[in-house]
Amino acid sequence: MLRQVKRLRSSDRLLELLEELAGTHGQTLTALSQRLDLPKPTVLRLLRSLEERGWVARLPGGGYRLGQRFLAVAQQSIGRDSVLRCASPHMVALRDALDETVSLLSVTGTSRVCMLEFPSGQPLRYVHDVGSQGPLHAGASGKILLAFGPDELRQAVFARPLERYTGQTFTDVAEMDAELTRIRTAGWAMSQGERSEGSVAVAVPLRDPQSGRVHSLTVFAPQVRFRDESRPAWVEQMNECARAIEVAAGSSTEVEPHA
């Protein structure tokens, strides 16, 4: 039993390490030790084990990043996911039409993770970064996933205190629940500075026609560029994009991306 517990702890640490590396472009041993609250020798042992198997690669400057094995497995997974396989041309068309970052996010545990992203070409832009994780109660994408996800997911998120990130973050469960009801009725979600100051996001649900899993199609932009009167047009174009992806994912005939 003790040996099994130790194995579980080791597995948890490996997963936490991979998740930490997934959210950045590279980290040093010292930074990883601090972030994971583990001794440097322990982190180094985990890194070396992952490096031997190709899951982690060492950077020239001494840091670490995800390795080719991780990327290969991720690509195989994307190839088997009909939504991820079909989404790119439609998301690029939406990005080009709005000139703002377009992202596709999904649920992992009680967090959201960015699966695909096409950043805005403008110098001032906001991005999630593919592989990065975030809370479900803060931000338009997370609220879409909560609103249209299963009851069990909402119960799991509401079972813990809702962390405050900015003055705009929902931290009261009753207020959050009322917001999710509004989102289900409207069919779209919006956030302004809920997770990061100065950002605005609009999101709509996108359902995998094969698995029924809900994704969030999100447009992410600086608040200084957003105009309230633009939101209805954004939502209309985003819904067109989401429906086109759903049709493409559920059919053997690819649907042309909208203009």
0.85 surpassed by pTM: no
Q: Sorting pLDDT into bands at 50, 70 and 90, what band is 128?
A: confident
Find, among 219, 216, 218, the residue nearest to 144 by Cα: 216
For residues 27 and 64, the answer to whether their CB atoms sit within 8 Å is: yes
Average pLDDT of every residue of the chain:
85
Return d(Cα 125, Cα 16) in angstroms, integer: 29
Residue-level pLDDT at 129: 79
Helix axes 2-22, 29-36, angle to 10 degrees: 120
* Residue-wise pLDDT tens digits, 35-74: 888 999 999 999 998 888 888 888 887 888 877 776 566 5
* Residue-wise pLDDT tens digits, 170-204: 999 999 999 999 999 999 999 999 998 899 999 99
* pLDDT at residue 2 tops 50: no
For residues 169 and 161, the answer to whether their CB atoms sit within 8 Å is: no
Tokens 């705009």, residue?
A: 168
* Residue-wise pLDDT tens digits, 190-248: 999 999 889 999 999 999 988 889 999 999 999 999 999 999 999 999 999 999 999 99
Domains and CATH numbers, the chain: 2-71 (1.10.10.10), 81-250 (3.30.450.40)
Q: Helices H, strands E: what count in the chain?
A: 9, 8
Q: Sorting pLDDT into bands at 50, 70 and 90, what band is 76?
A: low
Residue-level pLDDT at 80: 65
Instruction: Tell me how crowded residue 219 is: count the other CB atoms within 10 A of its CB.
Output: 28
